[in-house]
Amino acid sequence: MHDQDEPSPEIEGLKERPNLDELISTLQKSPHPFLPGWAAVTLWGGLKLKLLSKIYSLRYPRTFGTAYLPPKLVAGLVTRVRSNAGPGLSLSRNDIVASWFYKEICEIYPPRTATTLSRAVNLRGKHALISPSVSGNALGLAVMPSVQSGALQQTSLKNLALATRRSVEKFKDPDYVSKFMGFRMKCGNTNRSAVPEAKLSNQRCLITSFVNLGLSNPTFGERVSVERPVQLTMEPVVIRVIDDDRGGWSFHGNLPHAAWDGLERSMEREMEDLDAKSQRKAIEACVKRA
């Protein structure tokens, strides 16, 4: 046990975080009440969002569940996309797997349904004043332009992965990161909701690689706490993914029933295609040896 007058190691650790005081001071002195691409939620807008959320929950009832993309499937997706990307194009596994989920989840909507795709961005290393120990709650949100479900299905996985990659590029700019963090802190301090600028009726799909970490406003001080998040329009389809040391990906989400069924069919189809390719390569190798 620790003496009541002696700070605990946890609190001491918070006080010793590099640049923490400077980060707080910077954000508090220069709060950003507005951010391009985002809009405040009015009273009427909030009521409309709740109504739309209720309607869509009845139209697309959801179930929470988990599933697993085996290493063979992930490697197959990555190899296929990178082989088509050409020289000079850099696509991460996150870009590719997130884009695959976007396509599979949004396939359940009618072709003309407008959809907003977004992705969580860890801000570690994106700003000199955000240390690794702070970045657990320091998450950005990259929002892509609205796209109709039909157009999304016709887009190649490579092109969608490139668009996904471009959506996070702005977070490489420390000035934008500072504005985004200041905007989030301002929203939290005023108990205000903000949404990406898009039609309220848009469907939403959010990918985050940070399991059990919400997109929340950080409150820095003696202790780090989580406050009200910067809200997304309606309740998005949220998929939390995390890769393991074997190269597979587990994912967790409260998805529409039809989306779970579609994911299962797509995974089976992808695995069958990979098995067929493996068999063809084995046969070709045998023929060459003969």
DSSP state letters, 109-173: S-TT-EEEEEEEEE-TTSSTT--TTTTTS-EEEEEPPPEEHHHHHHS-HHHHHHHHHHHTGGGGS
Nearest C-alpha neighbor of 102 from the set 46, 151, 41, 60: 151
Q: What number of helices (H) and strands (E) belong to the chain?
A: 9, 11
Amino acid 223: pLDDT: 39
Q: Across the strands, what pairs with 196?
A: 38
Amino acid 163: pLDDT: 92
Tell me the mean pLDDT per 10 residues along the chain, length 290: 39 44 59 70 79 86 84 90 82 89 90 88 74 58 87 93 91 85 71 74 77 40 35 52 74 84 89 79 55
What topology does CATH give the domain 18-289? Chloramphenicol Acetyltransferase (3.30.559)
pTM: 0.75
How far apart, in whole angstroms, are the C-alpha atoms of residue 106 and residue 101?
8
Amino acid 12: pLDDT: 41
Amino acid 283: pLDDT: 55
Domain boundaries, the chain: 18-289
How many CB atoms neighbour CB 149 within 10 A? 20
Amino acid 109: pLDDT: 92
Buried b / exposed e over 214-243, threshold 16 CB at 10 Å, is ebbbbebeeebeeeebbbbbbbbbbbbbeb
Amino acid 227: pLDDT: 31
Nearest C-alpha neighbor of 138 from the set 29, 218, 254: 218
